[in-house]
Structure formats: C-alpha cells, structure tokens
Amino acid sequence: DTAVSQTPKYLVTQMGNDKSIKCEQNLGHDTMYWYKQDSKKFLKIMFSYNNKELIINETVPNRFSPKSPDKAHLNLHINSLELGDSAVYFCASSRYSGTGTDTQYFGPGTRLTVL
C-alpha cells in the first residue's frame, strides 16, 4: 500500500487552464503539506494543513488554492496556469508530535508542464 499517493503523476496543459492535483495519505496523519520543486531543484513549502485547517501559507499566488475535504486528503487546485508554474509538486504528511520531531512522508510527485 502506498503511504502518500498523488494523481496524476504527469500533467501537461496549456497556459490559462485550471487544473487540480490530488493527494491522499493512508498513514492516519493529521498534517499535510504541498511543496514545489522548480527546475533548479529547490524544494519549497507552499501550504500546510493540520486537521483540515490551514496553518502555513507561504508567499504563493492566490491562483493556488489547497482544499482538504478530510484529514487524509489535501488537493491542490491551480487557476489560470502560467509557464512559471511548471515544476514538480510534492505532497507530504506527518503526525504532529508537539515536539517538532515529526517525520514527513512524501508522495512520488506530480510533474506539471505548462505549455
């Protein structure tokens, strides 16, 4: 069983389109994240949700809207896609420990290409 899964694995789309990436974890974790890895391989946090509530929202355009229907899912919807949105998007999850020692488990990534 895959612990953190993402769909789709690859997404190719035209500029201006709206697309969604789905993430699911079956680890019983209460915190989920979205990270973006650009072409230079820098990995940066975008959002973090704990128990379906947004706790981190880095400087991300409001075209990006995360949605957490339940603790096991955190989907990423992107409106009006731009060329600069091309990247690999990773979902991750963890169980909040209160001590900062929680381990994050990452999904396999979704490679988004905007043409």
Based on the shown chain and the rule CB under 8 A, indicate whether residue 107 belongs to the binding site for another protein. yes
The amino acid present at 21, given as its one-letter code, is: I
Q: Does 92 bind another protein (CB under 8 A)?
A: yes
27 binds another protein (CB under 8 A): no
Q: Which of 45, 60, 65, 113 binds another protein (CB under 8 A)?
A: 45
The reply to whether 60 sits near another protein by the rule CB under 8 A is no
Please choose, from the candidates 18, 15, 14, 13, the residue with its C-alpha nearest in 3D space to the C-alpha of residue 79.
18
Name the nearest CA neighbour of 63 among 48, 53, 75, 77. Answer: 77
Q: Report cis status (omega within 30 of 0) of the bond before 108.
A: no
Q: Which residues bind another protein (CB under 8 A)?
A: 4, 31, 33, 35, 41-45, 48, 50, 55-56, 58, 90, 92, 96, 98-101, 103-109
